[in-house]
Amino acid sequence: MKLETIIAFLKSKNWKLSKANDKFFHFIPPKKLKFESEFMLEIPKNEKTLTFLRYMIIVTEGISEIYQIDKDRLIALFSKSLEEIKLERAITKGMVALSK
Give 59-95 pLDDT, tens digit per residue. Answer: 999 999 999 999 999 999 999 998 888 888 777 766 5
SS3 43: strand
Query: What is the predicted pLDDT for the residue at 58?
Result: 95
Query: What is the predicted pLDDT for the residue at 3?
Result: 94
Q: d(Cα 48, Cα 56) in Å, to the nearest integer? A: 12
Q: Which residues pair with residue 17 across a beta bridge?
A: 27
Q: d(Cα 21, Cα 43) in Å, to the nearest integer? A: 11
Burial class (CB in 10 A: 0-12, 13-18, 19+), 28: middle
What does DSSP assign to residue 49?
A: S
pTM of the model: 0.83
User: Is pLDDT above 70 for 29?
Assistant: yes
